[in-house]
Structure 1
Amino acid sequence: MNFEGKVMIEFCAGSDAHVRVDYHKPVEIVRILRGKAPHAVPGMLAMVHSVCGNAQAHASVLALEAALDISSDPVTARSRAVLTALETWRETLLRIVLEWPDITGDEPDSTTARAGMTLLPRMKKALFGDGDPFAIDARATPDMHAALQIVGEIEKLTVERVLGEACEHYLARRGDEGLSDWAGSRSTQAAVFVRHLLARGWMEQGHVEAAALDLPDHANKMSRWLAIALAGRLGSGRAVPETTPFSRRLNDPCVASLASLGIGARFVARLTELASLPLEMHRLLAGEGRPSAVSASIDGHGTAIVEAARGLLAHVARLVDGEVADYWIVAPTDWNFHRQGIAARCLEAVGGHAERDALAHLVVRAIDPCVAYEMRGEMRAG
């Protein structure tokens, strides 16, 4: 069974720049979950999703706990949020050190990738011991010294292998001048990649007006948010909002200060995310941060939305007689690769460019480097 889905992208022949984006959804998850006991569900979802399995389990346990009227204590809620934030950091790191060099013709940095892969299992151990963080009614037992040491390692990898300077220095940079200065003065593969975009004149390509999908802050907003999504009415004759690392970091000054919000800004947003997450994890561990997750029981359905690496991820569960009766997942792909979504709009924006094919692949990577997709319609002269 395919639990990830696939995106089909087709450019029309000729020069009218029209593009069609179709998201072929995965099998309905309820087919494997119906009749299951709630405690079995989060682990199953983590196993069947090859990308963001941690976030899937996180959203699942919050939805099921809401359906069962179980509330986690603040320490557990923040500890779970740290794990999902670390997964986001890891997935961002892997794309930067393994895939960006492929675009510039450099060798991938497998050493940094391997180091980054070890951190999430260690953080789970530090925060939950031998317990499952996403078991229903789990309780965190944090070893703060160990957890903070891991955050220190996360920051060290970010600084030494990606940014080439302290996170706070990178985050203090402003505008195109600040970005160019960083890219020109650092030797990391990330800096080489940004120099590549600047040299090709690709930074501003694919510019469209941003429309961010926000994390709902209370049950009424969640109810409206999900009613639209589950009914498949995302478009309603207008642009579908996006939920991506770019929309998440759009108001961060080092992104917002750029002259153009094209492809380049979307990759800069990933660097901004990588630089921001160590501090955000530190604040969560210190009890100062607020988890990027909401959950509630809405009309008898346990509902949860969490910030995953790819964007907002929603789970909805209905239980009958202690078993799963219905289950829905609204993934970032549902929004971002809708026919009127951000991918379609960005692809339209590059459709008439002489280097359309290369830019089109960059658009997809900038929006969601993990999505499975196929692109049809080669460039034709005239």
Structure 2
Amino acid sequence: MSQGRLELAAVWDGAVVVDIAIRNSRPEASKLLRGRTPEQALAAVPLLFGVCRHGQTQAARAALALAGGAAIPQDGATAIAAEAAQEHLWRLLVDWPTALDLPVDRALFASWYQRLNGVVAQGAWNGSGAEFARFCEQRLLDRAAAAWLMGRDGGRLGPASLCAPLLAALETEARLPTATPTLPCGLDAQAYYAGMAPDWSQAFPRLPVWQGRPAETGALARWPWLRTGGGLAARVRARLADLALLALEATGRVLPQTRVSAFSPEPGVGFAAVETARGLLVHQVRLGQGRIDDYRIVAPTEWNFHPDGAFRDGLLGFRADDAEAVRRRAGHLALALDPCVPFNIAVD
């Protein structure tokens, strides 16, 4: 199954970006689950999603369990956490340095990706937790994670931080013209369902809204003290905040976060909400006579790349002297919003 892609186009009049076009060809994989038994669907989900596979799998497990009248599975949260750490490290150690023409240590990233694969497979941090925490605090933050999260350092990284050069480069870029409202974080599935239900329709998974408006989801939405800064650097700091919290969690200094929640609004229906690296992931399933009558998935990419959402707001009105500057800013913004499919940038 093709993963699709995002076609992102900026209309630039020679001085300012005056319009944005977003075409999302990501296939609706949930349609392939309709008509299957729950067991068949659970076997298919890991094969359908190459990105955030464990988040997608746990969302499916929770939604199908509630739809079938069973309890929410209690395992899987650590796998989602370790998967999120992999995604964040990929952006911070590979994608952002590449985009900013900074040195890339692919061997370091590959080493940690493999170690975190072990955490995912075991469903527990075990001995890897302390090592991961040391890496986050000594190499990524060059700060104590707890103090940094409390804002005592103003979001600043230590001089030995691997991420200090990329943050310094992003701080020189102009602030984004408009801030998109962020999707609330930390709600349970019932609260998310209540907030989405008034707008729920066949089109909702492709064009999701919160209280009638597009919203940004992801790391920035999880850290209120970073939102006021805005811009690309704030989104990178929010990724680091996620990793700092994971470091504390992996070493037992804070309780494990609730990453999976589910709710059944009526018999035969299950609604699951999972917090992934990219943001909120929602699965809703309706069962009938032992098979899936309807299955819908609302992924973070659809929130952040809504035609009237965060990508548009972040680029519309951007001033530049040449098309390459527009293309570069659009690429950086797309990377910050982190779609789960490849993207192309065009400047017209």
Structure-1-length-normalised TM-score: 0.79
The CA RMSD over aligned residues, in Å, is 2.8
- Counterparts of residues 136-285 of structure 1 (less than 5 Å): 147-174=125-152, 178-179=154-155, 182=157, 185-198=158-171, 201-202=172-173, 204-215=174-185, 216-217=187-188, 219=190, 221-232=192-203, 234=208, 239-249=213-223, 251=224, 253=225, 255-256=226-227, 260-282=229-251
- Counterparts of residues 1-382 of structure 1 (less than 5 Å): 1-2=1-2, 4-14=3-13, 15-72=15-72, 77=74, 79-127=75-123, 147-174=125-152, 178-179=154-155, 182=157, 185-198=158-171, 201-202=172-173, 204-215=174-185, 216-217=187-188, 219=190, 221-232=192-203, 234=208, 239-249=213-223, 251=224, 253=225, 255-256=226-227, 260-282=229-251, 288-299=255-266, 300-350=268-318, 352-354=319-321, 355-368=325-338, 370-377=340-347
- Alpha-carbon distance, 1:21 to partner: 3.2
Instruction: Show CA shifts across 1:83-105 (max 9, x none).
Output: 11111111101111111221332
What percent identity do the matched residue pairs reach? Answer: 25
SS in 2 for 1:27: coil
User: In 2 relative to 1, CA 315–158 (structure 1 residues): closer, same or farther, beyond 3 Å?
Assistant: same
Instruction: Show CA shifts across 1:280-326 (max 9, x none).
Output: 34559x8x445122211223321101001111001111222222222
The amino acid of 2:247's aligned partner reads P
Counterpart-to-counterpart distance in 2, 1:301 and 1:238? 24
User: In 2 relative to 1, CA 218–57 (structure 1 residues): closer, same or farther, beyond 3 Å?
Assistant: closer
Instruction: Show CA shifts across 1:73-126 (max 9, x none).
Output: xxx62x422211111111101111111221332332222212222234422454
More helix, by proportion: 1
Unaligned runs of 5+ in 2: none
Counterpart-to-counterpart distance in 2, 1:212 and 1:298? 25
The amino acid of 2:135's aligned partner reads L
Counterpart-to-counterpart distance in 2, 1:221 and 1:172? 27
User: In 2 relative to 1, CA 44–319 (structure 1 residues): closer, same or farther, beyond 3 Å?
Assistant: same
Instruction: Show CA shifts across 1:154-196 (max 9, x none).
Output: 2122234322333234334457xx445x3xx523431111122
Counterpart-to-counterpart distance in 2, 1:221 and 1:103? 35
- Alpha-carbon distance, 1:36 to partner: 2.3
User: In 2 relative to 1, CA 93–124 (structure 1 residues): closer, same or farther, beyond 3 Å?
Assistant: closer
User: In 2 relative to 1, CA 223–283 (structure 1 residues): closer, same or farther, beyond 3 Å?
Assistant: farther
User: In 2 relative to 1, CA 7–124 (structure 1 residues): closer, same or farther, beyond 3 Å?
Assistant: closer
The amino acid of 1:243's aligned partner reads T
